[in-house]
Amino acid sequence: MEGMSYRVTFVCTGNICRSPMAEWVLRHHVEQEGLDVEVDSSGTDGWHAGDEADPRTVAALRRAGYESSHTARQFRGDWFGQYDLILALDRGHLRALRSLAPDAEARDKVRLVREFDPDAGDDLDVPDPYYGERADFEHVLELVEAAVPGLLEHIRAGLKEK
């Protein structure tokens, strides 16, 4: 449909560490390029629904020059139609999302973030930094940023089809 935004969501477990970080990194890049893309995030579980992002996520984003503002929420099975691309942060999220998908078309929208990093090799999970330290959050940021060029390429191709 003409004039429709391309919609991307990132999904991790609780929606307070990895997915909000990925959301704000991609949001920054699509805004810089002036692309008509909406980016948000959610979690496979609802434990943290209503919470802000983990302060360590916010700190890592700010140190790298990104903005951040967030309220956690749980991904719902009836949301598949709202998105063009649903990005799981690890294989566990990928499985959970694909099992929620109502049909093959919805399942095909679910991809792993690191699939878009040509240097990722077989290690496609972004590790959960929740029980870690500052360095673990910095590592998540590096892994997400490494996937951004490939993601932008995929999104630009998707926008041409809209």
- Under the banding of pLDDT at 50, 70 and 90, the label for residue 4 is confident
Q: Is residue 12 a part of any domain in this protein?
A: yes
Q: Give 32-85 pLDDT, tens digit per residue.
A: 999 999 999 999 999 999 999 999 999 999 999 999 999 999 999 999 999 999
Q: Is residue 135 a part of any domain in this protein?
A: yes
pTM of the model: 0.96
Q: Is residue 32 a part of any domain in this protein?
A: yes
Q: Is residue 13 a part of any domain in this protein?
A: yes
- Strand pairing partners for 88? 11, 112
Supply the pLDDT for residue 3.
Answer: 57
Supply the pLDDT for residue 105.
Answer: 96
Evaluate whether 14 touches 136 at the Cβ level (below 8 Å).
no
Q: Is 12 a catalytic residue?
A: yes
| 3-state class (DSSP) for residue 32 | helix
- Strand pairing partners for 86? 9, 110
Catalytic residue, chosen from 12, 17, 54, 84, is 12
CATH of residue 147: 3.40.50.2300
Q: Is 103 a catalytic residue?
A: no
Catalytic residue, chosen from 45, 128, 136, 156, is 128
Question: What is the Cα–Cα distance from 46 to 44, expressed in whole angstroms?
Answer: 7
| Count of domains for the chain | 1
Evaluate whether 26 touches 6 at the Cβ level (below 8 Å).
no
Burial class of residue 103 in the structure, from the number of CB atoms within 10 Å of its CB (0-12 exposed, 13-18 middle, 19+ buried): exposed
Q: Is residue 1 a part of any domain in this protein?
A: no
Q: Is 98 a catalytic residue?
A: no
Q: Is residue 114 a part of any domain in this protein?
A: yes
Domain with 28, as residue range(s), is 6-161
Residue that has been written with the tokens 């929740």 in this structure: 130
